[in-house]
Amino acid sequence: MSEKNIRTKAIRTQIPRTQFLEHSNPMYLTSSYVFEDAEDMRASFAEEKDRNIYSRYSNPNTSEFIEKVCQMEGAEAGFAFASGMAAVFSTFAALLESGDHVVSCRSVFGSTHTLFTQIFPKWNISHSYFKIDEIESIPDLIQPNTKIIYAESPTNPAVDILDLKRLGELAKAHNCLLLIDNCFATPYLQQPIKFGADLVIHSGTKLMDGQGRVLAGITVGSADLVETIYRFARITGPALSPFNAWVLSKSLETLAVRVDKHCENALAVAEFLESHEKVNRVKYPFLDSHPAQEIAIKQMKSGGSVVAFDVKGGLEAGRKFFDSIEWLSLSANLGDTRTIVTHPASTTHSKLSPEDRAESGITDGLVRISVGLEYVDDIIADIDQALKA
């Protein structure tokens, strides 16, 4: 059979049908599985058989979700987690030992930053940060104990872009693993393995579900690394629930059409904001004004669903803008059918010191819009009246 397009894979990757020949995939809400006899039990636990034993290890629904994401990312294997942060934490914890060091971009998800600064030091795992425009300083940050280079692109919340191909080259040259949080792009817009990533991490909570219903995470990549992660996870128990896996596998069937529309709406919102007199600076990867537009176009199919901008007048004007929004959601999530407006400085990144926020490009007036699937003129109208207020 010929290699199928990613859209077809997202819809047609499916575990085998049961005797009922159901068309849509059934839900396997079972914590454990039965054995035929004593020999089956022994052989199953000895891992002589590839089968489900207990849903902390594997479940048909999670297996289907993992297989689908692997197909879409071009990965050999994966493991699904209860949240994006469970995926980030477990992946690092499985691969690192006391004394190891990580080189990471400074602009990472708030909880990932807290992991580096407050959790990992407990186990003597250290990190060094490079700023978004300092990718060429990575060789200076590498130590003999550096195991992992870590980055997001586009970043949350400032939608900055990192050159994945260059990161891949640097990781290879310094014998480090490259881990990419691909949450903002989704496997539909960008496949970091193509550029040299060893592992790709997602929060499935965002565009993968895309409808604001479930928490989920997943890590995919080379089979031997995933084996190490699997060994860690089957003991420590961060597994995704079968119900959430079922929801996600269904969601992925519509990922491409949803993300296409998200991107179309986001570009329209970004262009509108750029022409608005109350707005200082708009960041969207596919805008001509984005400092890394050229790289974004090289590595992404489209610009994604998130637009960042600064309201003129700083914090006070920002608060006024949020208070004047009529019906768009004020929430901390993103990647939903519903447009969400967030103030990172007082919400998702409030735990960071003002200096840390500044280093991540998060100003007091920064607004992050996760552009949804509503009629785009309606979205723009609410933003416009709030800006004018």
Ligand X SMILES: *Cc1c(COP(=O)(O)O)cnc(C)c1O
Selected from 78, 187, 217, 365, the binder of ligand X by CB under 6 A is 217
Cα–Cα distances in angstroms (integers) from residue 114 to residues 7, 78, 190, in the given order: 36, 25, 26
Q: How far apart are CA 80 and CA 63, in angstroms?
A: 8
Work out whether 85 is an interface residue with ligand X (CB under 6 A). Answer: yes
User: Segment near ligand X (CB under 6 A), from 61-69, 77-85, 276-284, 339-347?
Assistant: 77-85
Q: Which is nearer to ligand X, 141 or 201 (CB)?
A: 201
Buried/exposed 341-371: b ≥16 CB within 10 Å, e otherwise: bbbbbeebbeebeeebbeebbbbbbbbbbbb
**Is residue 183 part of the contact set for ligand X (CB under 6 A)?**
yes
State the minimum distance, in angstroms, from the CB of residue 320 to ligand X: 26
Q: Which stretch binds ligand X (CB under 6 A): 8-16, 137-145, 202-210, 369-377?
A: 202-210
Looking at 9, 68, 106, 206, which residue binds ligand X (CB under 6 A)? 206
Select from 212, 237, 187 the least CA-distant residue to 66: 187
Q: Does 182 bind ligand X (CB under 6 A)?
A: no
Q: Does 162 bind ligand X (CB under 6 A)?
A: no
**CB count, 10 Å around CB of 309?**
25
Which segments within the chain are labelled E, that is strand? 77-81, 101-105, 126-130, 146-152, 177-181, 199-203, 217-221, 279-283, 306-311, 329-330, 340-342, 366-370
Choose which of 205, 241, 249, 305 interacts with ligand X (CB under 6 A): 205
* Cα distance between residue 68 and residue 66, in whole Å: 5
* 181 lies in the site for ligand X, by CB under 6 A: yes
Binding-residue pattern over the window 35 to 74 for ligand X, x denoting contact by CB under 6 A: ----------------------------------------
Nearer to ligand X, 178 or 380 (CB): 178
Which CB sits closer to ligand X, 203 or 363? 203
- Residue 118 DSSP SS3: helix
Specify the 3-state DSSP secondary structure of 2. Answer: coil
Binding to ligand X by CB under 6 A, coded x per residue (else -) over 121-150, reads ------------------------------
User: Which residues sit at the interface with ligand X, rule CB under 6 A?
Assistant: 83-85, 88, 109, 152, 156, 181, 183-184, 203, 205-206, 215, 217
